[in-house]
């Protein structure tokens, strides 16, 4: 029985050769491959700046820093996300402020986000959940109304678009992840895109300890050609050339990857769309389907998940709502019922297998297995 998981990388010989070429060369850490990857990534999305990071979490940390998040500042985001979206605010002494989702998009609801705006709001961080492009226009106008910036967490949404605009172009900054289950992988890796030279500069400073070697940026007089200055508290968040070579090679396949993901979603939609009790993911032409989150009757979800596992189909549940993790409960006093729509979605969701290497036959097997389980459960 072929085992299926909810996500998996696709690596070919071209990718392997690209990494091997770096290993045979002189540069291992940030060097020419990083520069080439950043340039190609920016060109792909049509943005001025793409700044790579060691992972998507570091990319979010850098974006919040560049946006000016400091002790006590607030970042409004969705509880229906991976922990990193909230944690990155905590790393800076900031405070994640949650607002509930719109069940029609499974993304942060702009109307709910508006209610959470305060004088401390520095960032609004919508998550383009599963690859569905969040309503960025509304978040931008909200942010403009209160002097905040929009950092889109697009770790699910590489290759997604809004009309003619790629996700990554519209928000003040957009964060991506290259974890193996994401659209393209570097093993571990991340990127922030922006059109602002000022923000790009802050991002680059932050990922290299806060140290600059650029004489024009020095605040003191250089002691000599060796001189460098640490100006802010940054981190070592560099991507290596080994990772970047893989990323560059993967990027050349991204169109193909996204096309296949959309075809897989269309096939699932056609197989589940008319099954009573099931809710297929929200539709959008620009959806890039990192995940295929299918909603089941809440009472049956657990049993269905377990039965799928027995049939060799390892789904995943995205996500235990962030505010209900013990750390968040204890630190901020969150409890069940605080964000009922996110909690309800969590209670019904299973992410089905969704990755480039899936065959149509695999997808039909997943659908058939679910049909059989549901008939038996009834
Ligand atoms: C994957 C992911 C991240 C973090 O990315 P890493 O590269 O694993 O650090 C952040 N937010 C969301 C929504 C993600 O899916």
- Over the stretch 293-351, which tens digit does the pLDDT of each residue have? 999 999 999 999 999 999 999 999 999 999 999 999 999 999 999 999 999 999 999 99
Question: How far lies 267's CA from each of 12, 121, 273, 277, in Å?
Answer: 25, 42, 10, 18
Question: How far lies 126's CA from each of 41, 64, 173, 187, 284, in Å?
Answer: 21, 13, 11, 25, 17
13-251 shares its CATH topology with 254-377: no
Domains of the chain, residue spans: 13-251, 254-377
Q: What is the pLDDT of residue 220?
A: 84
The top-level CATH class assigned to 254-377 is alpha beta
The rounded Å distance from CA 374 to ligand 1 centre is: 32
pLDDT at 378 over 70: no
Three-state DSSP state, 274: coil
Q: For residues 133 and 153, what is the distance between their CA atoms, to the nearest angstrom? A: 10
Q: Which two tokens stand for residue 150?
A: 């929009």
Q: Does pTM surpass 0.75? A: yes
Q: For residues 378 and 376, what is the distance between their CA atoms, to the nearest angstrom? A: 5
The rounded Å distance from CA 153 to ligand 1 centre is: 8
Q: Which two tokens stand for residue 106?
A: 């499974």
The rounded Å distance from CA 186 to ligand 1 centre is: 13
Confidence of residue 354 (pLDDT cuts 50, 70, 90): very high
Q: Which two tokens stand for residue 42?
A: 């920016």
* E strands, 273-317, in order: 292-295, 313-314
Q: What digits encode the pLDDT tens for the residues 14-43?
A: 999 999 999 999 999 999 999 999 999 999
Query: Tokens 């003619």 map to which residue?
Result: 164
Q: Is 303 exposed, middle or buried (0-12, 13-18, 19+ CB in 10 A)?
A: middle
Query: Tokens 């519209």 map to which residue?
Result: 170
Pocket test for ligand 1, best of 52, 53, 57 (most atoms within 8 A of CB): 57
Q: What is the pLDDT of residue 1?
A: 83
Task: Tell me which residue of 44, 156, 103 sits closest to 345, measured CA to CA.
Answer: 103
Does residue 153 line the site of ligand 1, with CB under 6 A? yes
Q: How many residues does the chain have?
A: 378
Q: Which two tokens stand for residue 146?
A: 């209160």
Q: What is the pLDDT of residue 84?
A: 98
DSSP secondary structure letter of residue 279: B
Does residue 179 line the site of ligand 1, with CB under 6 A? yes
> What are phi and psi for residue 294, nearest 5 degrees?
-100, 135
pLDDT at 143 over 80: yes
For 13-251, CATH gives 3.40.640.10
Q: What is the dihedral of CA 71, 72, 75, 80, to 10 degrees?
A: 100
Q: For residues 17 and 242, what is the distance between their CA atoms, to the nearest angstrom? A: 11
Counting from 1 in the atom list of ligand 1, the atom nearest the Cα of 179 is 7
Percent pLDDT > 70 in the chain is 99
The rounded Å distance from CA 267 to ligand 1 centre is: 27
Q: What is the pLDDT of residue 171?
A: 98
């Amino acid at each position: 029985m072929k085992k299926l998981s909810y996500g998996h990388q696709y690596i070919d010989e071209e990718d392997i050769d690209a990494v091997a070429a770096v290993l045979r060369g002189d540069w291992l850490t940030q060097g020419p491959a990083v520069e080439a990857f950043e340039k190609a990534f920016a060109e792909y999305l049509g943005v001025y700046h793409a700044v790579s990071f060691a992972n998507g979490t570091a990319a979010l940390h850098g974006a919040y820093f560049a946006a000016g998040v400091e002790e006590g500042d607030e970042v409004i985001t969705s509880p229906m996300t991976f922990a990193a979206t909230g944690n990155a605010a905590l790393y800076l002494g900031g405070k994640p402020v949650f607002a509930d989702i719109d069940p029609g998009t499974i993304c942060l609801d702009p109307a709910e986000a508006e209610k959470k705006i305060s004088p401390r709001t520095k960032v609004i961080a919508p998550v383009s959940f599963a690859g569905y492009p969040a309503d960025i226009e509304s978040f931008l106008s909200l942010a403009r109304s209160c002097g905040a910036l929009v950092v889109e967490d697009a770790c699910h949404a590489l290759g997604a678009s809004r009309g003619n605009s790629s996700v990554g172009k519209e928000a003040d900054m957009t964060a991506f992840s290259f974890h193996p289950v994401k659209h393209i992988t570097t093993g571990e890796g991340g990127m922030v895109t922006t059109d602002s030279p000022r923000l790009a500069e802050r991002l680059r400073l932050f990922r290299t300890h806060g140290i600059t070697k650029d004489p024009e940026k020095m605040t003191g007089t250089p002691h000599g050609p060796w001189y460098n200055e640490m100006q802010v508290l940054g981190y070592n968040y560099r991507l290596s050339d080994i990772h970047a070579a893989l990323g560059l090679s993967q990027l050349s396949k991204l169109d193909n990857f996204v096309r296949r993901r959309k075809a897989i979603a269309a096939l699932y939609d056609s197989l589940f769309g008319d099954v009573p009790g099931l809710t297929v993911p929200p539709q959008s032409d620009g959806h890039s389907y990192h995940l295929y989150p299918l909603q089941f009757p809440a009472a049956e979800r657990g049993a269905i998940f377990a039965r799928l596992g027995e049939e060799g189909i390892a789904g995943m549940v995205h996500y235990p709502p962030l505010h209900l993790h013990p750390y968040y409960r204890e630190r901020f006093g969150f409890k069940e019922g605080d964000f009922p729509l996110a909690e309800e979605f969590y209670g019904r969701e299973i992410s089905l297998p969704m990755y480039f290497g899936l065959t149509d036959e695999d997808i039909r097997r997943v659908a058939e297995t679910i049909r059989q389980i549901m008939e038996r459960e009834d």
